[in-house]
Amino acid sequence: ILRAAHERPARLLIPFVLDVGDVRLVRDLVREEREDLRKRGIPHAPKLEGGAVLEIPAAFLGVRRLIDEVDFL
C-alpha cells in the first residue's frame, strides 16, 4: 500500500477494530515498514491516511478515543 500510494492517493482501512490499541498497533507496523522502505531506497507514500471499521459492538464504547486516533471511520 505504501509503495502504491507513492504515485496515487490511497487510504488504509483497518477492519475489526476493537479499541485504540488495534489502531496504534497497525500504525506502528506501517511506520516500521515505511522506515524499511526508506532505508532500501524504495519510493513510498510519506503519509497514509488510516481509518477504522467498527464491526464489533464493544468498539462503540470507546468510539470517542478512536476518533482521536484515526483520520476517518
Global pTM value: 0.87
Give the helix, strand, coil percentages of the chain, each rounded to 5. Answer: 50, 10, 40
Query: Tell me: the pLDDT tens digits for 54-73?
Result: 999 988 988 999 999 999 99
The per-residue pLDDT for 70 is: 96
The per-residue pLDDT for 36 is: 97
What's the pLDDT band for 32 if we cut at 50, 70, 90? very high
CA distance 36 to 55: 31
